[in-house]
Amino acid sequence: MKYDVIVLGSGPGGYVTAIRASQLGFKVAIVEKESLGGICLNWGCIPTKALLKSAQVFDYLKHASDYGLTVNEFDKDFGAVIARSRSVAEGMSKGVQFLMKKNKIEVIYGTGKVKPGKKIDVSDKDGKTTELSADHIIIATGARSRELPNLPQDGKKVIGYRQAMVLPEQPKSMIVVGSGAIGVEFAHFYNSMGTKVTIVEFMPNVVPVEDEDVSKQFERSLKKAGITVMTNSSVEKVDTSGEGVKATVKTQKGEEILEADIVLSAVGIKSNIENIGLEEVGIATDRDKIMVNKYYQTNVPGYYAIGDVVPGQALAHVASAEGILCVEKIAGLHVEPLDYGNIPGCTYATPEIASVGLTEKAAKEKGYDIKVGKFPFSASGKAKASGNSDGFVKVIFDAKYGEWLGCHMIGAGVTDMIAEAVVARKLETTGHEIIKSVHPHPTMSEAIMEAAAAAYDEVIHI
């Protein structure tokens, strides 16, 4: 069975790559061992947002009186919340099935393994193996929850994100190890549902990749919501022999024993590069990543890799962009390498976090003379009217040329606002151009203009 392009893996990197390849006139096949859409659509980005929406609605009901409303009786049905999340994921996966048919992409279910000579062996659930070949093979096998040696996951008392989405019963207490996006999103969801949540973070700040001002504001918000936060701390070992879990946590003050029903390990991800034939083909890897050039070609001609298996941010939108760029280069189109310095990152807890570019600390370390502007949502009419006045927008500009170096937001809806900064930075927009771009009133987006104005001492509303 011969194709122009075979994509191994159907996550947001793989299926998008396949569609773009088909649009460019290639005969395309995609190999998937489980469900179309990969982790993102089935066990990651999409179902978690469904869970978080249920948590948001539940929080609104709890605070109905803040809006002049009286709700006498309400409760949650944890099973129904989980079921809704699964239904949303299944619907999205079916949507990808439709897109495959629409774009005449052949879907081959089974476990794929690349072979020399631009071939892939696909083994189905019955053990039958089919050999495929193509001029171009694109590896997009994604990643899974990373396990620490001292925190082995048993799938019941010590779990990863996948189990956290389908727990049969709501736990009364939970320890979340790691405060990156995955950790804090689940911490927020379970806390909103009524679970007693403790976050254990090894670094000095929660969401440690974010600007320090954002991290500090977010920690205040977590504590305000009733979540216990332990920074500069690490889980040394867990005891699952009893009814629940006993976690030994090393802190700056010494060791503590924490007890909970469940421990959620959210300490990062591990690339799926084992047992897919890389060694047999001779494809170079380094520290859990497949090595590629700026067009995602490996060291072996005809083999490419994109997404979580290559260096760069492990984000769905990055994988999609890499895949599109990869096949457009294969098709002979003029393409520009991806600018990894202008990739937005989003965290969908409450409040949301969104950022792009350099943090204030990173900008100073790079030697920039900077102008920093900050506008709090407490001064935003839209934020106050909607009852979501926590947070701020922070912008960083190069003082000499006005280049927009970084943008960091925390607050309601900021994950939808960050695209303005991404596009503006792509177009090399200056701070003054942002100030003079009229923003609609009343909106949360005005805060971007006001923050830029604050950087140049022109702010109106604070």
Q: What is the Cα–Cα distance from 177 to 161, expressed in whole angstroms?
A: 11
Cβ–Cβ < 8 Å for 237, 150: yes
Q: What is the Cα–Cα distance from 433 to 435, expressed in whole angstroms?
A: 5
Residue that is written with structure tokens 């900021």 in the block: 414
Q: What is the Cα–Cα distance from 330 to 439, expressed in whole angstroms?
A: 40
Cβ–Cβ < 8 Å for 171, 189: no
Orientation angle between helical segments 14-23 and 78-102, nearest 10 degrees: 20
Catalytic residue among 188, 317, 334, 441: 441
Report the chain's C-alpha Rg in angstroms: 23
E-state strands within 14-90? 28-32
Cβ–Cβ < 8 Å for 285, 278: yes
Strand partners, 265: 177
**Helix (DSSP H) and strand (DSSP E) numbers for the chain:** 14, 24
Cβ–Cβ < 8 Å for 305, 290: yes
- Residue 441 designated active-site: yes
Q: Which residues are catalytic?
A: 441
